[in-house]
Amino acid sequence: MLGCGVVGSQVARLLREQADELAARIGAPLELVGVAVRRPNRHPDVPVVEVIGGIEPVRTLLLDALRGGKSVVSANKALLAEDGATLHDAAAAAHVDLYYEAAVAGAIPLLRPLRESLAGDRITRVTGIVNGTTNFILSRMDATGSGFDEALAEATALGYAEADPTADIDGFDAASKAAILGGLAFHTRVTAGDVYREGIGDVTAADIASAKAMGCTIKLLAICERASGAVSARVYPAMLPRSHPLAAVGDAFNAVFVEADAAGSLMFYGRGAGGAPSASAVLGDVVAVARNRRNGSRGTGESAYAALPILPMGDVATRYHVALDVADRPGVLAGVAGAFAEQQVSIQTVRQEGRGDAATLVIVTHSAADAALAKTVDRLTGMDFIRGVASVMRVEGMPGE
Amino acid sequence: MLGCGVVGSQVARLLREQADELAARIGAPLELVGVAVRRPNRHPDVPVVEVIGGIEPVRTLLLDALRGGKSVVSANKALLAEDGATLHDAAAAAHVDLYYEAAVAGAIPLLRPLRESLAGDRITRVTGIVNGTTNFILSRMDATGSGFDEALAEATALGYAEADPTADIDGFDAASKAAILGGLAFHTRVTAGDVYREGIGDVTAADIASAKAMGCTIKLLAICERASGAVSARVYPAMLPRSHPLAAVGDAFNAVFVEADAAGSLMFYGRGAGGAPSASAVLGDVVAVARNRRNGSRGTGESAYAALPILPMGDVATRYHVALDVADRPGVLAGVAGAFAEQQVSIQTVRQEGRGDAATLVIVTHSAADAALAKTVDRLTGMDFIRGVASVMRVEGMPGE
């Protein structure tokens, strides 16, 4: 085992405590022959020592293991999202297994269902809440009306956010997971760099209030979609109707909503992080690898035959919610509607809130190319009767489109 | 393929429509070489004919297939719950696969996660809404306040209930699924006959109102639990707090809530029935079997090493909600409390509703042996100051016990 931190120590504990049960399930005992840790003096009782962390030297270590005929179980989402292809190729060449259930949504059995249970179906869309830190923050903002900074401070105090929360807040963690999900769901290869990404740092209490006014909540969503013969993979905060099953996923929980041609809508829900939940996923993979080995076989390998191109974000069909502080005088609505029409964006609803200096126009569009929506917002900000853009947010999961 | 009804016809359609994709995923084409149907004149375009249905002769046909070295994919929950052991033994002896993802909760990938993803963890409890018909009926009763008969009529009119709804309403269907889930979750064998079973036919509008008054809804739950070195498998309607993730599962949807030592709480949600969803599950299994065959291997077989005894229902720890129409006079509460104390049942809350002739005493107990709770209710019905027992319902999923 490489590493013995929050997850590794739990894996070691489960291996010890459930030794008899695991042996019965596999038909042979599991033995942990060594643990490699970065700071050996922190683990005086552990015999094997090695240095690991980040992308390298882990990649090299795992490639050496795979090429040496060892199956690998990993929870390293960053590495798998950046260069999973190299690892998969090495595993296939050596006829060994490469499993990484813990890399996405912790304990939730998700990758195996995607690559095995749904292998006879055609997945059309995967929408996930896959980062617990940001879900905790957005849930708090929704529950208390507090601003982002306040909710982040609370998350930090409670241990839900790390000292440097950039990877979570800016969506890098969710983007890695989106890359892994998109690849598995659509039988293609997606890297973290292919994923369009916006974090939650700019979500305001006003955005949350706007969302509430239309029966929505705001969630950081990782979305993978098959469209126009390509794959779209993207991460951003979006408004989601409260009636959507993902809307009720609160605190630091994760959930992934899968839409498939035949299966319809499915949702997988559970703890996305933490030592014990991640260890459960790691051990599930270890048992699978061990069973395969007993069987003289290997499990389902990578299935990336589709080799789909990545759809640029500008071409992705999305819907926008736009709240504009406007001058309350005749012709304003016509001017606003004209700006949308100019970009061929169709408006679903317009609602004026307040009068006079407090007049706000709230627009929800039908779905249109993201680039056209972005251009429309740019155009609106320059118009003289628009006093300000109060809120711009994508809308996902609305029925009737 | 044996049978070509609602599910079979969808399997045939998917096999045809996705032929290229499936071949790419497996590495070899899938060919449907024959279909056996009961009434060949209904399927003039199908070349192979055979009669099937119920437990027999399907069991014989599947055993012949397994013994002949054919892997089997089945959606027959009744057969698997009654005599899965014989089928599993035959599959193991012939070194072939026996998969049946579609038998429980239709399209929801559930059995594979239980037998593979969670193989490194210790599952403590599985609580499922696994019957769409009864969930639709209870959801309607909850939403409209209607009685059972009215809701059943609506379900029948909408096609959610069969002409003879006995198997659904009386919990037989859910009991078969509970048997399968209990066996997989606890590495043991559970048959349909081992499952304690109560249907929803006696659930009244008054029960639903009582549930609402304490922030609960009523769901038909299939529960499998490891307790006292044994397995409890049971199906009954129970009150469930609205804050529980299963409480929001409405209409004909299914969901299964799994609790495990390391993974914590997980939930799997989706469509539990219908041709296309079930076909998705069947085809996922077919792809798995085909991949194994290409690999010269077989997948995870049955894991029933634990051979746990079945806990009798009387010994199961449950909680009761009891609403009693009582005479409104001094000493009544003392008498009621005495009846509970006599059976060593501890009361969590007592609430009096109404006065005089309309006085009702609502009691929620702590958890106690089911037999003790049942005896307490028997004892209460005989007491002179009790005018009637308005509602008795088990309570599940309450925090704080």
Region of B400 on the Ramachandran plot (φ > 0 left; ψ -120 to 50 alpha; else beta) = left
Q: Please count the residue pairs, one from chain A and one from chain B, whose beta carbons lie less than 8 angstroms apart.
A: 198
Q: What CA–CA distance (Å, rounded) separates B352 from B354?
A: 7
Residue A43 confidence (pLDDT): 61
- Interchain proximity B25–A303, CB inside 8 Å: yes
Region of B336 on the Ramachandran plot (φ > 0 left; ψ -120 to 50 alpha; else beta) = alpha
Decide: B223 and B259 in contact? Cβ < 8 Å: no
Name the maximum alpha-carbon separation found in chain B: 80
Q: Which of A10, A263, A265 sits opposite B262 (nearest CB)?
A: A10
Q: Catalytic: which of B70, B77, B177, B219?
A: B177
Token pair of B236 as six digits: 């009954």
Q: Number of C-alpha atoms within 13 angstroms, CB side, residue B53?
A: 5
The residues near B44 (Cβ < 8 Å, ≥ 6 apart) are none
Q: At B323, is the secondary structure helix, strand, or coil?
A: strand
Q: How high does pLDDT run on average in chain A?
A: 92
Name which of A3-17, A42-56, B96-110, B206-220 the model is least confident about.
A42-56
Residue B266 confidence (pLDDT): 97
pLDDT surpasses 60 at B44: no
> How distant is the Cα of B149 from the closest Cα of chain A, in angstroms?
28
- Interchain proximity B305–A268, CB inside 8 Å: no
- Interchain proximity A284–B121, CB inside 8 Å: yes
Residue A124 confidence (pLDDT): 96
**What are the pLDDT digits (tens) for B344-355?**
999 999 998 888
User: Phi, psi (5° rounding) for residue B233?
Assistant: -130, 125
Q: What CA–CA distance (Å, rounded) separates B56 from A248?
A: 45
> How distant is the Cα of B158 from the closest Cα of chain A, in angstroms?
19
Q: In chain B, count of helices (H) and strands (E)?
A: 13, 13
Residue B400 confidence (pLDDT): 59
From chain A, pick out residues whose CB is under 8 angstroms from the CB of B292: 297
- Interchain proximity A297–B300, CB inside 8 Å: no
Residue B293 confidence (pLDDT): 87
The residues near B142 (Cβ < 8 Å, ≥ 6 apart) are B208, B211, B212, B217, B218
Q: What angle do CA B288, B291, B294 make, to 5 degrees?
A: 155
N-terminal to C-terminal alpha carbon distance within chain A: 48
Name which of A2-6, A88-92, B146-150, B388-392 the model is least confident about.
A2-6
Q: How high does pLDDT run on average in chain B?
A: 92
Token pair of B148 as six digits: 């059972």
**What are the pLDDT digits (tens) for B280-298?**
999 999 999 998 888 888 8
Interface probe for A, chosen from B9, B121, B122, B249 (most Cβ of A below 10 Å), is B121
Q: What is the 3-state secondary structure (H, E, C) of A366-385?
A: CCEEHHHHHHHHHHHHCCCC
The residues near A150 (Cβ < 8 Å, ≥ 6 apart) are none
Q: Which of A21, A107, A265 sits opposite B270 (nearest CB)?
A: A265
β partners of residue A260: A123, A264
From chain B, pick out residues whose CB is under 8 angstroms from the CB of A29: none
Residue A57 confidence (pLDDT): 86
β partners of residue A264: A260
β partners of residue B322: B363, B392
Instruction: Provide the residue type at B99 as one letter.
Output: Y
Can B177 be counted among the known catalytic residues?
Answer: yes
Interface probe for B, chosen from A1, A96, A100, A121 (most Cβ of B below 10 Å), is A121
Q: Which of A261, A280, A295 sits opposite B297 (nearest CB)?
A: A295
Nearest CA in chain B to A114: B109
> How distant is the Cα of B179 from the closest Cα of chain A, in angstroms?
20
pLDDT surpasses 60 at A47: no
Q: What pairing do the DSSP bridges indicate for beta strands B98-99 and B72-73?
A: parallel
> How distant is the Cα of A207 from the closest Cα of chain B, in angstroms?
26
Decide: A155 and A140 in contact? Cβ < 8 Å: yes
**Residues of A recognised as catalytic:** 177
Residue B353 confidence (pLDDT): 86
Region A259-273: mean pLDDT is 94
Q: Which of A267, A283, A297 sits opposite B295 (nearest CB)?
A: A297
- Interchain proximity A120–B276, CB inside 8 Å: no
Q: Which of A266, A284, A306 sits opposite B118 (nearest CB)?
A: A284
**What are the pLDDT digits (tens) for B308-330?**
999 999 999 999 999 999 988 88
* pLDDT top residue among A299 and A171: A171
Decide: B51 and B57 in contact? Cβ < 8 Å: yes
Encode A360-370: b = buried (16+ Cβ within 10 Å), e = exposed. bbbbbbbbbbb
